[in-house]
Chains A and B, each alone.
Chain A
Amino acid sequence: MPAVVPAFLQRFGKHPRLAASVLATFLAAGALWLAIHVSSPPPPVVHPAAGLKLDRQLESYLAGLISEVERNPSDPNRRKSLGLAYAANGLWSEARETFLGLETMIPQQPLAPMYAAVALQELTDEAGAWREFVQVTARFPTFAPGWYRVGEAALRRGDPTNAEQAFQRLIALAPLEWRGPAGLGELRLHQGRFAEAQSLLEKAVHIDYSAKSAHYLLGQVYRNLGRTNEARFALDLGSAENRLPMPDDWAEEAPSHLRLLPDQLAQADELAQRGQPEQAVQLLRRALVFHGEQPALLNQLAVACNRAGKPEEALDYVNRALKADPASVASHVTRALVHARRGQFEAGRLDAEEALRLAPCLTQAHLALAELWLGQDNDRKAVSALETALHCDPKNAEIHVELGDILWHNLGEKGSAMDHYQTALSIHPALARAWTRLGQLQWEVGDGAAARRTLQQLILVAPAGSERSELEATLRSP
């Protein structure tokens, strides 16, 4: 620098003001560079709290991520991944610290402070989280997920004014996001402005028919309007296990960081149910490296292998599970199903019966027995097993549908089948599969008018589902 300055002044000697101005700009840029790269070092890497006894797999996984961040301390993406990994595994204090550090690195990114606020909320500091959500929307007024968070938090706090403002902003910023009209509709519902609530909530389900909470809210509105039948239907359609927040750009990455065993088991189960059993197997094998002969893991691995069409491998895993825990009813049920797949029906029945000895009213064991009897073409005994399963779990509409299918297709007892489909629908009016079967059966017995009415009901339940196409195809057949 000392050699550069005289040369610089010499070049601009005839224009000292310009020279000074350029020099000042140069120095300011240098100062900024220094401020970023020298005087503001990257925030410290957050490690798990001292003394925290972590699961081995999680500990190993986090160590890898931490090491990557330490090697690349200025890389915000790696920091983000570390923060998401902490969050995905329930280490919310560490997640918050990481997101706060990230915020200093990328101050223009609203997700870092929003996730820090979410972490605070998870740490049950509702007031603190509220303050930070509000700050996020103040700093990033066009950031729709921030308004969603404020709106939701305002509803929870019993704060209609802020809820109103937030959901109005959300609707303006993200007109195709159902949570905007749904949030405002919820507010109107509780203000007793039912006609407005109805309009908003019908808009929400029009935007996304799978938005369960919007259906549920709409059901409450219908009930208040005296439209009981529609209310019953919408409430059933809207009942859910949870309510999911508005998606954002980081959310998709988080599942890849799950390393706790129960979460991986759930993740594998979901993958298998979605028709990706091979991925489930891969995921669980990864966990097996750390968890050895853990019976629940071995059992789940057996389930996944069986679904992936690898019954021999499944048998190996489930045998290991039962060796580790001979009284595991879940493993006995799994082995029964593995045997069914291998055509070893007698061995399977022994396992199902052992499960029932350990837990006499275990629905899953009765279902496994039904599967085994079906494999042996003994439909009557399969029906009997399903009826027993219903005795243990009478509100299980799916079992009624299964029973209906066997009675209709295997035993030709259409009247009884019809009864079961209708019972299933009385329990669970939003069960699309039951509407399809009912319509198909009505069509088969020559009651075309009833079948068409059923189709209309099905369209209400699942307007874009494969069940609708299936029934429509039936109704087009001779």
Chain B
Amino acid sequence: MNRQFLWIGGLLFLLGCRRSAPPLPTGTSATVDGSAPVQRTVASSPWFIRVPEAGGFNFHHSSGKAGQFQLPEMETGGVGLIDFDQDGWMDVVCIDGGSLDPHHPAPPNHRLYRNLGHWKFADVTEAAGLRCPDGYGMGCAIGDFDGDGWPDLYITQWGGNRLYRNNRNGTFTDVTSQAGVAVHSWSTSAAFIDYDGDGRLDLAVVNYIRWTPEREMPCFSAGGQRDYCSPLNYSAPAPMTLFHNRGDGTFADSTEKAGLTQAYGNGFGIATGDFDHDGRLDMYIANDATPNQLWMNRGQGKFVDEALLRGCALNSVGVPRAGMGVVASDLFENGWLDLYVTHLVGEGNGLFVNQSGNFMDGITPDGPMAGSLSYTGFGVAFGDFDNDGIPDLYVANGRVRLGGKVWSTLDAYAEPNTLRRGLGDGKFTEIQPQGGTEPPLIGTSRGLVVGDLDNDGRLDLIVINRDGPADMLRNNTPSDRSWIGFDIRDRNHREARNAVVRIQAGGRQQWQQFQPNQGYCSSQDPRLHFGLGTAVTVEQVWVRWPDGTSEEFGPQIPGAYRVLQQGSGRTDSTRFSW
């Protein structure tokens, strides 16, 4: 969301300077014929089919926009998958905006849809006690903060976040006040993590800017039409918030103690993982138009921002980009978590390749960022949609400022979403029809979740579109490929967040980290899913638990979701090595 006009010295205006060149790896081939180097694959049939509203999923997002161009209206709209009733079907939480108009106040209309199976859904918001009385909705994070085995729900908002404890009977209780996790800022993404290894899920909350309606100001698009401002106009970046779980249903604000007020930007996305393999959980914050942070966990509850030195604060030439969504994923199957960040149109999405704990902002003609310059990316997720054993990439796009190619006469900010098929070793090819649907999905898309909504082993999608109906996309790829899924639990049957799972199947190894709270303001399917191609068995599964121990789980039969519980495997004789 940066301005597009740049200046030098004595007001020397230089055209076409808003982009800066990301680097490239050794050995990429030259393309001199002028054709775009983006590879495309035309699928024989669309990978996804829209699920009709008749099935009961009928969420319609509202930003409450009233012509005042208030910035939160442009960023709202997260989504989460939660099996809140533990019936084995992923239910859906959709986050609405609400209204910022003081003359027409309205609470956000967040919705909870119970998955009845077979693509039938029921809106159970009121029955579940999830009516949100106030605030302006942004996103959500789902996690079992009280360790009772039932997932709880944290909703991020402007004007006060909400924590809903799962009552284990199909209802929730708002425990925000008792828990002490309101955050009266403008929160965006959040993640449940166990940063101190005490077995309890703490809560990391990303905050955007210190915004109030009084700080709003008129901004204009190219050509002079009234438009939304850049966050830079407000000069008010906000530090993130870290809550330490005391284990008694309450949290302590440990932000300052952890050192997290020492650096901050306009925070949008969070990805967590052990990025330097020191056995401690680190955090990466994607900031909008300000440098990103990489909070390296130094133990004893302390973090230090090393993003600049480690190469993931800025792009390759030292310029911040507009970070929106972010995921940590091992794209090169070497055990190191890479970072993929969605950005503003003209910047291109970015891949920070993890090279033993340091990062390189990389670009290749066939990388996951190829073809992204034309769009503003928000929601992002990797998932093996075609079960060929290699993760694919879906990005939910939608611009934040007027201008550029018009994709929709109804929504000037709308853009098509994009789908890229993974080819392995960090290479991807664009899937046609665009975004994997026919016709392409065009909207101002924000939140995105990937999950198996019908438990058929093929990953489906849900996309939240600003001021439009949400899209539920059913996976339509061939069903003849093999897969396996895992529910990762610690010794006490609690979610083992940030455990790393490595499998050996069909002569290949795959790595995944268990952390559903990533992307943009969204919470993914809390089960790990691996496509296996033609493999008929999973020969070996290793798990590196968050406490540093590792176990082997012997041959596994594909085609089902299985529980991997700490203590039930064999102690890894080879020691889980990265």
Contact = CB atoms under 8 A, between A and B. Distances in A.
Given A58-B224, A124-B374, A262 B3 contact: yes
A294 B224 CA distance: 14
Contact of B15 (A57, A123, A251, A262): A251
Contacts of A84: 15
A187 B13 CA distance: 27
A183 B317 CA distance: 10
B362 A190 contact: yes
Nearest to B232: A241
Contact of B309 (A130, A186, A223): A223
B28 A270 contact: no
A450 B10 CA distance: 36
B220 A190 contact: no
A242 B319 contact: yes
Nearest to A296: B217
A305 interface: no
Contact of A235 (B15, B212, B318, B405): B318
Given A58-B224, A186-B23, A239 B37 contact: no
B318 A212 contact: yes
Contact of A90 (B25, B403, B405): B403
Nearest to A232: B309
Contacts of B3: 262, 266
A127 interface: yes
Interface stretch (B48-56, B72-80, B259-267, B552-560): B259-267
B236 interface: yes
Interface in A332-391: 358-359, 361-364
B317 A217 contact: yes
A152 interface: yes
Contacts of B29: 159, 161
A15 interface: no
A266 to B, nearest CB: 7
A13 interface: no
A252 B12 contact: yes
A8 to B, nearest CB: 51
A113 interface: no
A216 interface: yes
A263 B12 CA distance: 13
B365 A158 contact: yes
B166 to A, nearest CB: 34
Nearest to B364: A158
B16 interface: yes
Interface string B419-443: 0000000000000000000000000
Interface in B209-235: 210, 212, 214-215, 217-225, 233, 235
A58 B223 contact: yes
A211 to B, nearest CB: 10
Contacts of A119: 15-16
Nearest to A299: B217
Interface in A381-407: 394-395
Nearest to B13: A254
B14 interface: yes
Contact of B218 (A192, A270, A294): A294
B137 interface: no
A163 B30 CA distance: 9
Contact of A254 (B15, B215, B264): B15
- Quick one: which of A190, A240, A296 has the most chain B CB within 10 A? A190
B367 A251 contact: no
Given A124-B374, A186-B317, A236-B308, A358 B222 contact: no
Given A159-B30, A242-B17, A252-B12, A216 B314 contact: yes
Nearest to B8: A244
B41 interface: no
A53 B215 contact: no
A153 B34 CA distance: 11
B21 interface: yes
Contact of B263 (A56, A190, A395): A395
B311 interface: yes
Given A155-B22, A247-B14, A395-B264, A231 B34 contact: no
Given A213-B317, A240-B318, A155 B4 contact: no
B404 A124 contact: yes
A131 B308 CA distance: 35
Contacts of B373: 124, 126, 156
A213 B2 CA distance: 18
Contact of A362 (B11, B14, B236): B236
Given A127-B36, A359-B215, A52 B223 contact: yes
A90 B223 contact: yes
A425 interface: no
A155 B2 CA distance: 22
Interface residues of A, number: 99
A54 B5 CA distance: 18
B319 A241 contact: yes
A245 interface: yes
A162 B367 CA distance: 18
A256 B389 CA distance: 56
B345 to A, nearest CB: 6
B578 interface: no
Contacts of B236: 359, 362
Contacts of B317: 186, 213, 216-217, 238, 243
Contacts of A254: 13-15
B503 to A, nearest CB: 31
B410 interface: no
A309 to B, nearest CB: 22
A71 to B, nearest CB: 25
A131 B6 contact: no
A176 interface: no
A215 B363 CA distance: 21
Interface string B179-199: 000000000000000000000
A104 interface: no
B214 A327 contact: yes
A432 interface: no
A238 B11 contact: no
A235 B224 contact: no
A255 interface: yes
B34 A127 contact: yes
Interface in B232-283: 233, 235-236, 261-264
Given A242-B6, A254-B15, A161 B32 contact: yes
Contact of B21 (A156, A330, A362): A156
A136 interface: no
B11 A270 contact: yes
Contact of A127 (B13, B35, B218): B35
A181 to B, nearest CB: 14
26 contacts: A58-B223, A88-B13, A115-B15, A124-B404, A130-B34, A156-B22, A158-B28, A158-B363, A186-B23, A189-B23, A215-B318, A216-B317, A220-B311, A220-B316, A223-B311, A231-B309, A235-B309, A241-B320, A243-B319, A245-B16, A247-B8, A266-B3, A266-B5, A267-B7, A358-B214, A364-B235
Leading 9 A-B pairs by shortest Cβ distance: A90-B222, A55-B224, A216-B318, A161-B30, A118-B16, A127-B36, A254-B13, A155-B21, A131-B34
Interface of A: 48, 52-59, 84, 87-92, 115, 118-119, 121-124, 126-127, 130-131, 134, 149, 152-153, 155-163, 183, 186-187, 189-192, 212-213, 215-217, 220, 223-224, 228, 231-232, 235-236, 238-247, 251-252, 254-255, 258, 260-263, 266-267, 270-271, 274, 294-296, 327-330, 358-359, 361-364, 394-395
Given A296-B218, A361-B210, A394-B261, 19 more contacts: A52-B223, A88-B5, A127-B34, A157-B365, A159-B32, A160-B30, A190-B362, A216-B317, A223-B309, A235-B318, A240-B319, A242-B18, A243-B318, A251-B13, A254-B15, A262-B219, A270-B7, A329-B214, A329-B215
Interface of B: 2-8, 10-32, 34-37, 210, 212, 214-215, 217-225, 233, 235-236, 261-264, 291, 308-309, 311, 313-314, 316-320, 345-346, 348, 358, 360, 362-365, 367, 370, 373-374, 403-405
